[in-house]
Amino acid sequence: MRITVVEGDITSQDVDAVVNAANRGMRGGSGVDGAIHAAGAPEVLEDCRRRFPHGLATGDAGWTTAGRMAARWVIHVVGPNRHAGETDRSLLTSCYRRALEVADELGARSVAFPLVSAGVYGWSREESVDAALEVFRSADTADTGVDEARFVAFGRSAHELVRSRVESPGGPG
């Protein structure tokens, strides 16, 4: 699996699936969730209502259509909310692992990821990218059918940071 990094907006990525940093209610929100629901309106919300009548648990992932976006699917993950006491790092790695599993169920080959939990949910960008890299480089995900995991860094400083973590030879994973 190739790990790539671009700077930009996840809603305009030309990939099979984009990952959303959602919440347990699964009805949209702010940040990347708001952008994805706006770009994929109204189908993303309609599909969320249909597929997730009771929402989704922290650390888990599930998919919907991507509506009018270039991608085919949205893979929604619910990251841990540090401000609500969800400080267990395994919930963050679980999001990235479950996103890859759902991508494999769908047959998605290219998947774009935001930095899950590194906004409203209060984790640092370093913690989120390092959790992702640990999963992407682990033996457990070596047989995934995903051949590109693309970090979409929102803004220049995020891009610099993610790129340096991805390129660091002594980095995580």
Interface with ligand AR6 (CB under 6 A):
9-11, 21-23, 29-33, 35, 79, 114-121, 125, 152, 154, 158
DSSP state at residue 42: T
**Whether residue 33 lies in the annotated active site:** yes
- Our CB check for ligand AR6 shows the closer of 65 and 79 to be 79
Sign of CA dihedral 119, 123, 129, 135: negative
- Our CB check for ligand AR6 shows the closer of 70 and 145 to be 70
Rounded least distance, CB 37 to ligand AR6, Å: 9
Rounded least distance, CB 168 to ligand AR6, Å: 19
Rounded least distance, CB 155 to ligand AR6, Å: 7
Out of 16, 33, 47, 130, which one is annotated catalytic? Answer: 33
- Our CB check for ligand AR6 shows the closer of 35 and 48 to be 35
Rounded least distance, CB 115 to ligand AR6, Å: 4
Long-range contacts, 48-52 (Cβ 8 Å, 24+): 48/76, 52/26, 52/76
How far is the first Cα of the chain from the last one, in angstroms, to the nearest whole number?
14
- Our CB check for ligand AR6 shows the closer of 32 and 44 to be 32
Long-range contacts, 82-87 (Cβ 8 Å, 24+): 82/117, 82/121, 82/122, 82/123, 83/121, 83/122, 86/58, 86/121
Catalytic (active-site) positions: 33
